[in-house]
Each structure stands twice: as C-alpha cells, then as structure tokens.
Amino acid sequence: MLTGRNLERKNLNHYYDREGSQIVVLYGQRYIGKSSLINEFVADKDHYFYAARICSEREQLYQWGMQLGREGVKTSQFPTFAEVFDSLPYSGRGKQVIVIDEFSRIVKNSDTFMPELIRFIHSQWSKRQVLVLLVSSSVGWVENQMVEAIGESAYELSGLMKIRELPFRELVAYFPGFTMEQCIETYAVLGGFPGLWQMFDDRISVRENICRTLLNPGSILYNEPQRLLEDSLRETSVYGTILSSIAEGNYKLNDLYEKTDFSRAKISVYLKNLIELELVEKVFSYDTAGKANTQKGIYRIQNHILHFYFYFIYSNLSERETSSPSLFYKQYVGPAFKSYVGGYFKQICAQRLDERNKTGRLPFKYTKSGEWVGKMGNIDLVAQNNENETLLVLCNWDRPMMTYEDYEKLLICARKARISTDFIFLCSASRFDEKLHLEAKVKNNLKLIPASEL
C-alpha cells in the first residue's frame, strides 16, 4: 500500500523536522492510502490518534472523553475541547504527532474546535512541540468550504497535503503475478487507489476478482459506489440520473439535457459538484488553430469504480441481485469489457509518455499536452514544446488489429486540427497490420508501440 509515496513521506518529515509546532491538513479520497501513510509515518514517533464520529458536538466530546478514559486519562463526562486537548497523553520524548481523522465531522458541528486547538498549540510552545495532522476524505469540502468554515483559524495552518491517485506503473509493481494486460484491466476497474488494490488477488484472473468483489453480495465493495454518492451528496437521485446518462455516452451538456429533461442550469450546478468531488471531469479539446472542428467540452466519469458501476451494473441492478456473479459477468460485463478498458488504456499511454518525457526519452521534451476532441474523430494525445514541435498519439485496445486506415484517419484529424505531424506514436494492445509496419520502416517519425512496452 505504501508503494509510490516517497514524496508524501518527504513532505511529512519536512513538517515534523521543522522547528516549532505545525497544523497540516492531509486529505484525499477514500481508499487513496491516507491511513497506511500516516501509520507508517507515526510508527516510531510519539503520537495520539482520534477518529471523529458522525455526531453532535456534545456526543463527540463524550466519545473523546470515553476514549481518554480507556487510555487512563480521567476527564469530565462531557469535557470541553480545551479539557480534551490539555488531557492528551504525552511521553515527553520529542515532537508529538496528533492525528485527528475526518476532522470535518467536528468542524461542521463546532465553532470552538479549531480555536481551542490553536490555543492548545500556543500554550504548549514552552513545553512540547506538536505536529497536528487534520485528516479528511472530503476533498470537495477541504478545497471549497474549509477556509470559510474555520474562518481566521485558516491563518494558523502550516500547509495542505493532498494525497493523489498513484500512477499505473505503481499498480504494475503491486501485482507481480498479473500480466501487462491484466494490470491494464485492473487499473480500468480500480484506478490509482491502493486501498482498493488490496481487495484484488493477482493469483486469480481479473474476471474472478471482479466477481469476488464488485459482484459478490458479501464483498465490502458490493455497494461502495452507492455509499460514495450517499456519503458525499444530497439529492442522490439527480446525481444518479446524470451519472448514468454520462455512462451511456451522453458526454455533452445538450445531450444530458435531452436525456434527463433537467434544465441546463440545474445540470451545470450538479456537474460542478461532481467535478469538485473528483467524480466527474470536464475534458476540453487541446487548443489548436482548428477550433471550428472541435467539441466545446465533454464530461466523463473520473472515478473508476463509480464508472464501472454505472457502465455495467446500474442499468442491470435487478439482474445483479438475482444472478450469480459469474453469470452476471458473462451476460453483462464480459461482452463490453474490452471497450470499457479502452478509454483507460489511453490514460495509461499518456501517463507513460509523461514519464518518458520527464526523463528525456522522447524525440523532444514537450511542455504542454492534451487530448484533441474533434467532431469527426479524436487524437488521443497532442504534445508540443515551445517551438511547436508536435507529437501525436493514437491508442488501440479493443480492436483486433491497428490498421493503416487508423493512421490515415489520424492524419485527417491532424489536418482538421491544423497541427503538424512531426512525430507520430501508435500504441496498440493488438498487432499492427503489415502496411503500417512498412510505413514505420520508411518514415523515421512514425513509431509503433505494443502494449508490452508500457
């Protein structure tokens, strides 16, 4: 679970080694690996941990007092936050790390929590130094409402640390028993969430893993997509309607309007909320001179496990409840699974090219990149440097062969986008036709990349 978190470890150690006390907000989505990172960080340090409950301020204080009592510290039945903080046990050895998990549950119901925490830290300057980690899974709240909620206390924060998804290469390292194809399929289902990776077993097939976890009523992930929406949003019926419509291929605002019958203004507000929670993303076409041939902006489900649910399960929910996992997979998942994975194969190709770009293993070092979304076709990646040298990338996952016709369509899209074709990479999970191989031999700017090279 701790693979690929060297930068986060370094940042935490930076705050810990600084002189004086600090308050750091550490946040990221569920299953992103926050708990494992923190547990490893505090393992050799004096530390105290409290997991905030979903409850009123009075009940929160009661529960915290009860926890302190179990730890041998006596408080009143309903202590104040001042009493709680002043009672926190401390060994007297070095800087103490105080972890308050899901602190937003406290802040949303208390005006005194943050001021009393700051008072406590200031009162300890001559006695002990502390690093307070305020942890949250509410990404949208931290980024958009937290500062308003805590007011002037925000000036006392030493920093914010966002724990992001891990890249595909870390998943490959995590599952040594999987083939490259299986790793790509697993990434398409679970994304870069190491907490979810734990639930897959690389000694069995991806199909068996999906049946065990997402399709098995006894699995913790069986209802995870619904919980994800219900924990983060109100009016889940509206959000479910919009997400299912996107999963069906209604990517544009007007398409969503026609499918849902909600007003465009209403859809825009709800999409904004989904984007803030990193459940949906808005994709704009790479900016080129050929703007007349581009689409204005399209919406995609960003969270992998939520996408899987709305792509395969939502419309067939009754069948999932009444079928065996293996039968449901055979009838509803298997036939469209390759097509589903194809969209994420493009993401993986973009990630790997970014890594090659950083290490100087491309024909030139690009400074900007993105997808070109055209009305008559897309270019999966356009990358340019400051001198406008251009690299175009086209990816194929689900078709049995990448053909010369695919290459010609790419050139047509490039003309519509009015961009040059200095270098072209064709990435494919399947073979390339003979004509493409011949073309690549005579054209130095054309490279054929099989999925195994990723």
The number of residues in the chain equals 454
- My answer on whether 37 and 96 are in the same domain is yes
φ, ψ for residue 136 (rounded to 5)? -150, 145
- My answer on whether 298 and 359 are in the same domain is no
pLDDT of residue 2: 59
Which CATH number belongs to the domain containing residue 352 in this structure? 3.40.1350.10
pLDDT of residue 232: 81
- My answer on whether 352 and 431 are in the same domain is yes
- My answer on whether 131 and 36 are in the same domain is yes
Surface-to-core class of residue 219, CB atoms within 10 Å of its CB (0-12 exposed, 13-18 middle, 19+ buried)? middle
Which CATH number belongs to the domain containing residue 52 in this structure? 3.40.50.300
Give the range of the structural domain holding residue 19, as residue numbers without chain letter: 6-162
Residue 433 lies in a domain: yes
- Would you put residue 101 in left (φ > 0), alpha (ψ -120 to 50) or beta? beta
- My answer on whether 33 and 90 are in the same domain is yes
- My answer on whether 311 and 357 are in the same domain is no
- Give the orientation angle of helix 434-442 with respect to helix 404-417, to 10 degrees: 60
- My answer on whether 20 and 67 are in the same domain is yes
- My answer on whether 261 and 363 are in the same domain is no
Contacts 24+ apart (CB under 8 A), 149-152: 149/104, 149/107, 149/108, 150/107, 150/114, 151/114
Q: Report the number of distinct structural domains present in the chain.
A: 3
- My answer on whether 154 and 265 are in the same domain is no
pLDDT of residue 296: 84
- Contact between 340 and 308 under an 8 Å Cβ cutoff? The reply is yes
| pLDDT one digit per residue (tens) for the chain, 454 residues | 456 899 999 999 999 999 999 999 999 999 999 999 999 999 999 999 999 999 999 999 999 999 999 999 999 999 999 999 999 999 878 899 999 999 999 999 999 999 999 999 998 877 889 999 999 999 989 999 999 999 999 999 999 999 999 999 999 999 999 999 999 999 999 999 999 999 999 999 999 999 999 999 999 999 999 998 888 888 899 999 999 999 999 999 999 999 999 999 999 999 999 999 999 999 999 988 888 888 888 999 999 999 999 999 999 999 999 999 999 999 999 999 999 999 999 999 999 999 999 999 999 999 999 999 988 889 999 999 999 999 999 999 999 999 999 999 999 999 999 999 999 999 999 999 999 999 999 999 999 999 888 7
Residue 422 lies in a domain: yes
Give the side-chain half-sphere CA count within 13 A for 92. Answer: 0
H-assigned helices in 261-403:
264-276, 304-308, 317-322, 325-328, 334-358
- My answer on whether 284 and 377 are in the same domain is no
Which CATH number belongs to the domain containing residue 257 in this structure? 1.10.10.10
pLDDT of residue 298: 92
Residue 335 lies in a domain: no
Q: How far is CA 48 from CA 45, 93, 96, 125, in A?
A: 10, 13, 8, 18
Residue 210 lies in a domain: no
- My answer on whether 35 and 92 are in the same domain is yes
Residue 177 lies in a domain: no
- My answer on whether 30 and 158 are in the same domain is yes
Residue 203 lies in a domain: no
User: 3-class SS at 269?
Assistant: helix
Residue 259 lies in a domain: yes
Residue 100 lies in a domain: yes
Distinct helix (H) and strand (E) counts, the chain: 22, 14
